[in-house]
Amino acid sequence: MAKDMTLMWFSGSPPCWRVMIALEEKGLQGYNQKLLSFEKGEHKSQEVLDINPRGQLPAFKHGNNILNESYAACLYLEGQFKSQGTRLTPEDAAAQALMYQRMFEGIAFMEKMGNVIYYEWKFPEGERHDSALKRHREALTTELKLWEGYLEKVSKPHTVNSDMNIRLSNSTSCIFSFLSCLLANWLDKTS
């Protein structure tokens, strides 16, 4: 079953890890995998471009089905192998709605974080503006406060099934607060 699956991935890439974890949780060992080097530009090779014209990873193929967005690949795997391995999505409509909402909101959070962290890397010196960086920092700060508010409202674990609990608990809140503090300190030092 997994023999007709191929995953091209980078080491250290959370989107690649997402797909790898989903494959593992669904019990789909034995798939073809290829670790590529970002430094060597292997993600822009013809082999990758043939299944992902953007030259980005992960690049995932199951038979003739190609999925290059990690969330799409994870949801596809859950849909195709629903009764196999660990259930990845909740059955309850309210829990499912919240899962999808936070999953896609996370994309906006990551974009805002990237706008700040990679600003100097993305823009040549002559195109950088303090006002733009300030605007990006303010947007990120607002987003972080929103996510801290979400975590404060979580009072019980969300159960997917008896084997797998997604627990947004005080420890998660502490970790998120710690990461928020680190990011805030970094923002202060770079301003």
68 lies in the same domain as 97? no
Sort strands 59-62 and 65-67 into parallel, antiparallel or unpaired.
antiparallel
pLDDT in the model for residue 175: 44
CB 100 within 8 A of CB 85: no
Quick one: how many helices (H) and strands (E) in the chain? 7, 6
The confidence band for 23, taking pLDDT boundaries of 50, 70 and 90, is very high
51 lies in the same domain as 107? no
CB 60 within 8 A of CB 73: yes
Sort strands 5-10 and 32-36 into parallel, antiparallel or unpaired.
parallel
**Measured between alpha carbons, how far is 10 from 34 in angstroms, rounded to an integer?**
9
62 lies in the same domain as 148? no
114 lies in the same domain as 160? yes
Residue predicted with more confidence, 119 or 7: 7
51 lies in the same domain as 8? yes
Residue 99 domain flag: yes
Tell me the HSE value of 45 on the side-chain side, using a 13 A CA sphere.
16
The confidence band for 170, taking pLDDT boundaries of 50, 70 and 90, is very low
Q: Which residues span the domain enclosing 20?
A: 2-80
**Measured between alpha carbons, how far is 92 from 159 in angstroms, rounded to an integer?**
9
- Extract the tokens encoding 122: 């993305």
Mean of pLDDT over the chain: 83
Which of 59, 80, 101 is where one domain is finished? 80
pLDDT in the model for residue 49: 96
Residue predicted with more confidence, 182 or 165: 182
50 lies in the same domain as 123? no
- Extract the tokens encoding 121: 């890397």
Which of 80, 114, 140 is where one domain is finished? 80
| Domain containing residue 25: CATH number | 3.40.30.10
Residue 181 domain flag: yes
* Distance separating the N- and C-terminal Cα atoms of the chain: 52
| Domain containing residue 109: CATH number | 1.20.1050
89 closest CA partner among 161, 11, 32, 6: 161
In the three-class reduction of DSSP (H, G, I as helix; E, B as strand; rest coil), residue 159 is classed as: strand
Which of 15, 50, 80 is where one domain is finished? 80
- The answer to which of 62-76, 126-140, 159-173 has the lowest mean pLDDT is 159-173
Handedness of CA 29, 48, 71, 35 (dihedral sign): positive
For residue 161, the cross-strand partners are 164
